[in-house]
Amino acid sequence: MNDVPQKPEQAHPTLEWIGETDGYLRLIDQTKLPGQLVYLDCRDVQSVWDAIKRLSVRGAPAIGVAAAYGCVIAAQHGNFARGADYLATSRPTAVNLFWAIARMKSLQTTETTALLAEARRIHAEDAAMCRAIGQHAMKLIEPNAGVLTHCNAGALATSGIGTATAGMYLAHAAGTPFTVYADETRPLLQGARLTAWELGEAGVDVKLICDSMAAQLMHGKKINIVITGADRIAANGDVANKVGTYSVAIAAKYHHIPFYVAAPSSTFDIKCPTGDDIPIEQRNPSEVSNFSDTATAPPGTQVENPAFDVTPASLITGIITEHGLIQPVNKETVSRTIR
């Protein structure tokens, strides 16, 4: 039961490079899930930028990998530096975007062979980090546990088996019975559209809930552990993740339920002292005032739409990284693991 299975890997690759130095980036268009599994081919920098901006590719690690390949595409068109800088303007919160672009720039070359090799390394390392996170996280999932997650920090958000979901995939493959409660994750429903879809496809027992139901389920003793992902982790361990994560953490603390964040080292930003220094993306008001193309609020209603919130380190039981568990979470413990 406790053996770590070598499988599963991604059933449907979130993104892949097709061809060699004259190739292109293919990604699942996540805006179409769960209705359609369709792929988007990006052959110029603008299409990579658009795919990141409109969330065709989303989730911090996947954004980073997409941007790394986007840099290769920029070099193919003879505008590496300008393309790389432009890609960095697509979304502000997930630090993996800036981390991957900085890594590509640090090669100090515009030569596509070297850039493609680096992008492929970033891609492969991301998959390996997911697996390592999973090996640590699966130990936290007790038989018959109720595991709450928010948004999609799954295979679709990474190059591998996800971050928050990595322990779930491995525990499931090892035969541990448990139930995942997936917050639907308003406003864009990454939990309903993506997490419920990918875990369901893998045969994991998953139940979808509205975001506002989580506290009631905690009160009813259906949740034993919370595991979420992260978009950026500050030096003191504060975590920016999909809006709604903070309320889940508060509810978990009140009910004495452990709250874990699973994230690779590429999601830490030690130059950011605290969560207050993390830029929070503000998205289009129509995401809140409409449900798909249908208006759900009176015309002209004023809207706030921050895409992320910050959970203070004091609410986080532990951060599961590829290097192991950071627990307790504070400036000292973070700096011991992440340099």
Which amino acids are annotated catalytic? 231
Q: What letter does residue 133 receive in the DSSP assignment?
A: H
Closest Cα to residue 166, out of 185, 186, 140, 145?
140
Between 141 and 262, CB nearer to ligand MRU: 262
Cβ at position 55, least distance to ligand MRU in Å? 6
Between 30 and 76, CB nearer to ligand MRU: 30
Closest Cα to residue 61, out of 156, 136, 167, 198?
156
From 15, 48, 49, 58, residue interacting with ligand MRU (rule: CB under 6 A):
58
Coil, helix or strand at residue 339: coil
From 190, 195, 266, 317, residue interacting with ligand MRU (rule: CB under 6 A):
190
Task: For strands 259-262 and 225-228, give the pairing.
Answer: parallel
| Whether the bond into 8 is cis, omega within 30 of 0 | yes
Do the beta carbons of residue 174 and residue 5 sit within 8 Å? yes
Choices 3-11, 57-65, 168-176, 248-256; region in contact with ligand MRU by CB under 6 A: 57-65
**61 contributes a contact to ligand MRU by CB under 6 A:** yes
Choices 43-51, 113-121, 134-142, 150-158; region in contact with ligand MRU by CB under 6 A: 150-158
Give the whole-angstrom CA distance, residue 74 versus residue 87: 10
Closest Cα to residue 229, out of 248, 215, 212?
248
23 phi/psi in degrees, rounded to 5: -85, -165
From 75, 157, 226, 227, residue interacting with ligand MRU (rule: CB under 6 A):
157
Segment 241-270, which members bind ligand MRU (CB under 6 A)? 241-242
Between 112 and 232, CB nearer to ligand MRU: 232
- Judged by the rule CB under 6 A, the positions of this chain that interact with ligand MRU are 55, 58-61, 94, 151, 153, 157-158, 162-163, 190, 229-231, 241-242, 307
